[in-house]
Amino acid sequence: MADARRPLMAGNWKMNLNHFEANLLVQKLAASLTEQQLADVEVAVLPPFTDLRTVQTAVDGDKLNIEYGAQDISTHKSGAYTGEIAGFMLEKLGCTYVLAGHSERREYHNEDDATVNAKVKAAYASNLTPILCVGEGLTIREENGHVGHCTAQVVAGLEGLTPEQVKRIVIAYEPVWAIGTGKTATPEDAQEVCGEIRARISEVYGAEVAGAVRVLYGGSVKAANIASIMVKPDVDGALIGGASLDAEEFASIVRYREHVAR
């Protein structure tokens, strides 16, 4: 990983934890990490919408060095869109990040690349940093089409953005076959796709922009495997699912450098 890119460990809580549990988890996570560890590695949590106000209160009240964001954003600015959450609402809650294009949204809600691109743009319109998720299913992987599939998703997700916007984006590579299955792509698999993503961004936007973009790996990340993934030059952090629901495990992932030293 390039020294200029600060590692990011982002916990996607998915549809878990009520607001009481959310408050306790954030407090435990912060208490498990030193100020230096939180300075060295950016830590973010992505709770359900119903927990965001509670997380904001915990972070602001105790001045915790933890970022937070949402799991989804509407493509619409406001209006008669029952059940959707607009970007300005997330901005007012102090969110830093928002996911766009997570595989579960693509699969269960039929979100295509055009919808994902619209959500990326909606995030920027509300001063939020999108975490653009890309990844392949098992069939595509077995057919050796994973690199082309993922880089095409990246290009589609970035369509219409300025180079400055692209510099700020976070891209999360999540092989769909490794999400919540206990299966993990090897560190070499992660590096292959993350490296190709950066190379494709360089082709379109230039080396300077590509060098600034943080590319995360996601898919059954845990303390036991994070160190071997983080030593790869194009992996800048992780999008963590189930392991982020355990404060001790999440903190251990953030302290990945300790595992490297062992």
User: Residues 174, 192, 196, 249: which is the catalytic one?
Assistant: 174
Could you give the angle at the alpha carbon of 84 between the alpha carbons of 112 and 9, nearest 5°? 70
User: Residues 42, 67, 102, 104: which is the catalytic one?
Assistant: 102
Tokens of 111: 């979100």
Residues in the chain: 262
- What is Dmax (Cα atoms) for the chain? 55
Cα 213 to Cα 54, 86, 96, 115, 167: the distances in Å are: 30, 25, 16, 22, 5
Instruction: Say whether 136 is catalytic.
Output: no
Instruction: Say whether 258 is catalytic.
Output: no
What's the alpha-carbon Rg for the chain, to the nearest Å?
17
Cα 103 to Cα 64, 115, 218, 244, 256: the distances in Å are: 30, 13, 11, 18, 26
Q: Which residues belong to the active site?
A: 102, 174
